[in-house]
Amino acid sequence: MTETSDDLEATLAHVWATLAYGVEDSAAPARTLALATVGLDGGAEARMVILRSFCAEDATLAIHTDNASHKVGEILLQARGTLLHWDPETKLQIRLRTTLSTREGTAEEWARVPGTSQLAYGGTPPPGRPISAPDAAGRTADPARFAVIDARITEVETLWLRNNGHRRARFQRNAGFTGVWLAP
Amino acid sequence: MTETSDDLEATLAHVWATLAYGVEDSAAPARTLALATVGLDGGAEARMVILRSFCAEDATLAIHTDNASHKVGEILLQARGTLLHWDPETKLQIRLRTTLSTREGTAEEWARVPGTSQLAYGGTPPPGRPISAPDAAGRTADPARFAVIDARITEVETLWLRNNGHRRARFQRNAGFTGVWLAP
């Protein structure tokens, strides 16, 4: 039997399943992903984000953010960002090259955010601004500050670390996500 | 007693200790970091890298790479990149904004790379190029392909997730890494 890591279709199916599981189970490894964007100074920025929804059919996913956070402005200037997942158990790295866009969250999306988590949207001052003491930021839930970042996956790149030779593959949207092997 | 996450000096000391431990112990959480760079198409790229050395006094660290890998070219065009670490156990996110540079690895550095790991430098074709089968890349150890990426930390940003209010802080090199609190 061919191993998953030696099979392009099975590798992509594993990526989609990993993302779907990240949405379903808050304890799943892919619940958190690193989001890399281009910063306002032109350098690369990165931070962890929480995967909120995923659609394999459209190859899209969504994350939530305070619309006053720096990454919203960064995405407006440069929409191309990468979401990265590394699972130390399976030794699989997943890179998702995406086109990012931000929009206001809908009332329905806001209603699904648990009450304590709603406090993540609306703090004073906005995220990343200096404050005088560790707990000096005001916490209020403000639905007007609740934003959704939609990510359209343009390319999936996988790297599976194996003792007998790593496996690397790329799946592009404009090729219908059929894959090609890459030198690792 | 003040908690570490409510103390700027203790927070920075924790960051340095986390990085030092990542170098010392191959099983440490900070052994692997996400490295975000700006890609040749202007979008943000990210991949996991292994922390090879760290000096708290200079606030510098080093990682190894095949000099034919895409990230070497990316760093030449845009030196500002971010190294990201997230520890799900301690709920601490560490963002290291850095100035990156690449150089040939020294003979002494090459000698310290274990024999099997030396195969990561010198494959044919170079990393990321298409191949015809999952195992079709040639593997040879080539010291001429062994490169070091030096990262000079210009800013440390921490985010500690806590139930009673997250803690976020920033430490800048040009302020001697004295810290300021930020709204989370």
| pLDDT for the residue A115 | 87
Q: Do B42 and A97 touch (CB under 8 A)?
A: no
Contacts of B48 in chain A (CB under 8 A): 84, 86, 93
Q: Do A38 and B43 touch (CB under 8 A)?
A: yes
Chain A residue with Cα closest to B38: A44
- Alpha-carbon span B162 to B96, nearest angstrom: 21
Q: Is the pLDDT of residue B164 over 90?
A: no
Interface predicted TM-score (ipTM) of this complex, two decimals: 0.97
Reference A173, options A159, A160, A149, A155; nearest CA is: A155
Instruction: State the DSSP code for B19.
Output: H
C-alpha distance from A106 to closest chain B C-alpha (Å): 23
CB contact at 8 A, B94 and B18: yes
Give the β-pairing of B60-66 and B146-160: antiparallel
Return all residues near B142 (Cβ < 8 A) that are at least 6 apart.
B121, B122
Instruction: Concatenate the DSSP letters of all residues of B103-123 into one string.
Output: EEPPHHHHHTS-HHHHTTSS-
Contacts of B131 in chain A (CB under 8 A): 181-183
- Alpha-carbon span B44 to B48, nearest angstrom: 14
| pLDDT for the residue B19 | 98
C-alpha distance from B55 to closest chain A C-alpha (Å): 22
Single-letter code of the amino acid located at A21: Y
- Alpha-carbon span B148 to B102, nearest angstrom: 6
CB contact at 8 A, B106 and B162: no
pLDDT (tens, 9 = 90+) of chain A, 184 residues, equals 688 999 999 999 999 999 999 999 999 999 999 999 999 999 999 999 999 999 999 999 999 999 999 999 999 999 999 999 999 999 999 999 999 999 999 999 999 999 889 999 999 999 999 999 999 999 999 999 999 999 999 999 999 999 889 999 999 999 999 999 999 9
Instruction: Concatenate the DSSP letters of all residues of chain A into one string.
Output: ---GGG-HHHHHHHHHHHHHHHHH-TTSGGGEEEEEEE-TTSSEEEEEEE--EEETTTTEEEEEEETTSHHHHHHHH--EEEEEEEETTTTEEEEEEEEEEEEEPPHHHHHTS-HHHHTTSS-BS-TT-EESSTT-SB----GGGEEEEEEEEEEEEEEE--TT--EEEEEEGGGTT-EEEE--
Q: Say how many C-beta atoms besides its own lie within 10 A of residue B5's C-beta.
A: 22
Instruction: Dump pLDDT digits (tens) for A3-37.
Output: 899 999 999 999 999 999 999 999 999 999 999 99
Q: Do A180 and B47 touch (CB under 8 A)?
A: no
| pLDDT for the residue A2 | 83
Q: Say how many C-beta atoms besides its own lie within 10 A of residue A142's C-beta.
A: 15
Of A6, A39, A43, the CB nearest to B134: A6
Q: Do B181 and A134 touch (CB under 8 A)?
A: yes
Instruction: Dump pLDDT digits (tens) for B63-73.
Output: 999 999 999 99
Instruction: Dump pLDDT digits (tens) for B71-122.
Output: 999 999 999 999 999 999 999 999 999 999 999 999 999 999 998 899 999 9
CB contact at 8 A, B61 and B67: no
